[in-house]
Amino acid sequence: MKMNFTGKVAFLTGGGGYIGSAVALRLAALGAKVAVCDLDLEKAERTVQQIRAIGGTAIVLAADVAESKSIEAAIQRTDEEFCGLDIMMHIAGGSARERMKPLIKQEDEVIERVIRINLLGAIYSSRAAARIMVKRKRGGRIINFSSIVGVNGLRGCVDYAAAKGGIIAMTKSLAKELGEYRITVNSIAPGIVMRPEEGHSEERALKTNFLKSKCLASDVAELAVFLASEGARFITGQTYIIDGGRSLALKGSD
């Protein structure tokens, strides 16, 4: 299916990250104007430079998705710069990483930060985008990133699982609220995505899916771009798992 995003405006949180930059570049290559938003301006700037190098249009925006006023200002700036907003993807997020612990040992500050970035970030971003989309009256696409951890759970990661599971529930509810405005709301739940700079084990990535292959950022980007396209106009309230079948296992894949 041939996709064309000429004239469309996209706003991405986490646009400087491994997955976010891949999505941003794919959208730009298909003609979209892209607002690359990230807490790390240096990473966001790299993504924008890559987009401009292929002849695309993009701007850099800084925002903390855990703060509603910050994300609202960034999305408002996008609307002002490009005279509209058609696509919003909340990709920013992450677990506590090296501070992951069983819940009975976890500190309040870690739990709260994980929830704020992953779940409240999705809620704040979706709300700000929906307000503009409803006002503009030209429909839209809202896509939030969940995780298979939000589907199956993961030991030592209760806060992250709760946040990502919340995104799945939010997706269903918001789809019902925004359907009458021709705004679709969907989510994507990746499994292990190979990130070379983080030194993920290739062996682990291969053995935790049934395709015996590695999931790359480009694989996730293709799914995200499809959900943002006209081809997905009648899909809403759904969560798409992209994990090579890992979540099909009953036990032993964690």
Active site residues: 160
| CA atoms of 143 and 91, how far apart (whole Å) | 8
**Residue 128 in contact with residue 142, Cβ under 8 Å?**
no
**Residue 221 in contact with residue 22, Cβ under 8 Å?**
yes
Q: Which residues have a Cβ under 8 Å from the Cβ of 150 and sit 6 or more positions away?
A: 161, 163, 164, 165, 166, 167, 168, 189
Round to the nearest angstrom and report the end-to-end CA distance of the chain.
Answer: 35
Beta 183-190 vs 140-145: how paired, if at all? Answer: parallel
